[in-house]
Chains A and B, each alone.
Chain A
Amino acid sequence: EAGVAQSPRYKIIEKRQSVAFWCNPISGHATLYWYQQILGQGPKLLIQFQNNGVVDDSQLPKDRFSAERLKGVDSTLKIQPAKLEDSAVYLCASSLVPSGGSDTQYFGPGTRLTVL
């Protein structure tokens, strides 16, 4: 079974530029998560999808971040414009059942973003 795929693995941009990350979850997984992991910290949930609907986006900085999940399968996370403090690893995860809290999340390798 293929795992969660993310691309690109690394991205370097200058502040005020735009960037997009892509995630393809495990086939059949209903729930998809985007996390931001700043160096030395644990992952922070940005947005949670169930199929193609948003379950929670309370921690997503909506003035610059946006995300969508196309047809309930893969997802993109965009930052526009980027700030220095957006430098982090962006992790995508998926779980099989609709969000219920107890299900195992499967994580992708992450995209490391550096904003100069």
Chain B
Amino acid sequence: AQSVTQPDIHITVSEGASLELRCNYSYGATPYLFWYVQSPGQGLQLLLKYFSGDTLVQGIKGFEAEFKRSQSSFNLRKPSVHWSDAAEYFCAVVGGSYIPTFGRGTSLIVHP
């Protein structure tokens, strides 16, 4: 069975500061990995995904994520956070069963 852990429930950063959101997964092989963002009252939007190739993945809105097999991690990064990035961020994994499993989410708070 696959699982996802997002260890940080809340992250607070100042506008313009860098950001890293952590995601660890458990799966016997390399799964498909996703990061989604959810703004209040809205559905989830895909930021980026990884399933093979270059381990550094570029996404929308200036986000990137790096797959590290040795650490079973897929952390999301952004060099300079904007106030509009305040939202809930979800990491998701899809394994051989093709059933998506989401983490509990990390709430990003951006201070001016």
Residues of A within 8 A of B (CB): 4, 33, 40-45, 48, 55-56, 58, 91, 93, 99-102, 104-110
Q: From residue 55 to 112 of chain B, which have CB atoms closer than 8 A to chain A?
A: 90, 92, 94-105
CB pair A109–B99 under 8 Å, yes or no, is no
Complex Cα gap A55–B94 (Å): 14
What A residues does B51 contact at CB under 8 A?
Answer: 101-102
CB pair B102–A43 under 8 Å, yes or no, is yes
Complex Cα gap A41–B107 (Å): 11
Task: Name the interface size band of chain B.
Answer: 20 to 34
For the residues of A in contact with B, the DSSP-based class is loop
| CB nearest to B41 among chain A residues | A109
CB pair B44–A107 under 8 Å, yes or no, is yes
What A residues does B92 contact at CB under 8 A?
Answer: 42
Whether, in the assembled complex, B28 has its beta carbon less than 8 Å from a beta carbon of chain A, the answer is no
Complex Cα gap A15–B13 (Å): 41
What B residues does A45 contact at CB under 8 A?
Answer: 99-101
| CB nearest to B93 among chain A residues | A101
A35 to B: closest C-beta gap in Å: 8
CB pair A42–B42 under 8 Å, yes or no, is no
What A residues does B46 contact at CB under 8 A?
Answer: 104-106
Most chain A CB inside 10 Å of its own CB: which residue of B45, B102, B103: B102
